[in-house]
Amino acid sequence: MSEVSRPPLTAPEREQLVGWLDHQRSFVRMKCAGLSEADAHRKVVPTSPLMTPAGIVAHLRWNEYSWFQLNVLGVPDTGQTPWTEGGHPDAEMLVDDVPIGQLLDEYDAECARSNAAIADLSLDTLERGTYAIRGEAASLRYVLCHLIEETARHVGHLDIIRELIDGRTGYTRLE
């Protein structure tokens, strides 16, 4: 995904929400551009060894899937997710053996699936899945706001991790 522009200042609510989410999503690939496999999997935060560029991309991919497919659409988990009963709580980030290019392609594909899944839904649509927060279903509007926050927060993590790896900062295009 190449960098996506900010949504228009006076766009309707849906266009603003999806636009800001797409804008943040586009920075994920940008922050990972040019990383070697070793750097993409390098553990630079001693207290959070799963916080690697690869781990973050995988985490964001599975968050997209979880929120839009499992929660909003109510698609049953048929075992395709990395989470298992009694398994590691951050299993989606255990990707030391997965190439960063594959993880980025899977993330981009999941983002496209997410957008397609919600294209015809009202922002007032409530979650259909059984994974609701505190037993209460959230609206699609809430989910979009949450994913904007989640993605932006992890883009910030990628920014810091990238600076620790090779000194690159900001929104410098690396491709």
Instruction: Read off the pLDDT of residues 97-137 as tens digits, 9 standing for 90 and up.
Output: 999 999 999 999 999 999 999 999 999 999 998 766 677 89
Query: How many domains is the chain partitioned into structurally?
Result: 1
Residue-number span of the structural domain to which 81 is assigned: 13-166
CATH number at residue 30: 1.20.120.450
Residue 88 has pLDDT above 90, yes or no: no
- Of the two residues 86 and 2, the one the predictor is more confident about is 86
- Residue 173 within a domain: no
List the structure tokens of 114: 């997410």
* CA distances, 78 to each of 69, 72, 82, 130, 161 (Å): 12, 16, 11, 14, 34
The mean pLDDT of the chain is 91
Residue 172 has pLDDT above 70, yes or no: no
- Residue 1 within a domain: no
Can you tell me the distance from the alpha carbon of 174 to that of 172, in angstroms, rounded to the nearest whole number?
Answer: 6
- Residue 174 within a domain: no
Can you tell me the distance from the alpha carbon of 46 to that of 26, in angstroms, rounded to the nearest whole number?
Answer: 27
List the structure tokens of 134: 């505190």
- Residue 93 within a domain: yes
- Residue 119 within a domain: yes
DSSP 136: B
- Residue 148 within a domain: yes
29 contacts: CB under 8 Å, gap ≥ 6: 1, 2, 104, 107, 108
Exposure letters 101-129 (e unless 16+ CB within 10 A, then b):
eebbebbbebbeebeebbeeeeeebbbeb
| CA-only gyration radius of the chain, Å | 16
Q: Any idea what the Cα angle at residue 38 is, between residues 55 and 170, rounded to 5°?
A: 65
What's the pLDDT score for residue 2?
63
What's the pLDDT score for residue 175?
43
For 40-61, write each residue's pLDDT tens digit: 999 999 999 999 999 999 999 9
Q: Among 69-73, 82-86, 149-153, where is mean pLDDT lowest? A: 82-86
Distance from the first to the final alpha carbon of the chain = 12
Residue 66 has pLDDT above 60, yes or no: yes
pLDDT band at 1 (very low <50, low <70, confident <90, very high): low
- Residue 7 within a domain: no
- Residue 8 within a domain: no
